[in-house]
Amino acid sequence: QRLLEVLNRLVEAGNSVVVIEHNLDVIRNADWIIDLGPEGGDHGGEIVAEGAPHDLARVKRSYTGQVLQEAGV
């Protein structure tokens, strides 16, 4: 929660913030997500989906989108 508060203050002050994160709370509060995959290592590295959290929740190929959908985003 503290991290989200700090990130929100930076954005409210007019800054752009880029975060690499796996924490669902941080992801669901993002303005824009770029989801890389579909897997890791040699089986990943391409953009699977991008957009707001509710947009990613509709992309079946995105593991992040699947988790967001299950979380009710």
Q: Where do the domains of the chain lie?
A: 20-70
Average pLDDT over residues 5-29: 95
Q: Which residues of 2-17 are buried (b: 16+ CB within 10 A; e: fewer)?
A: eeeeebeeeeeeeeee
Q: How far apart are CA 51 and CA 9, in angstroms?
A: 22
Query: What global pTM score does this model have?
Result: 0.84
- The token pair that represents 53 in the structure block: 């959290």
Nearest to 37 by CA among 62, 65, 69, 66: 62
> Which pLDDT score is estimated for 43?
92
pLDDT tens digits, 24-62: 999 999 999 999 999 989 999 999 999 999 999 999 999
Q: pLDDT band at residue 1, thresholds of 50, 70 and 90?
A: confident
> Which pLDDT score is estimated for 42?
92
Report whether pLDDT(9) > 90: yes
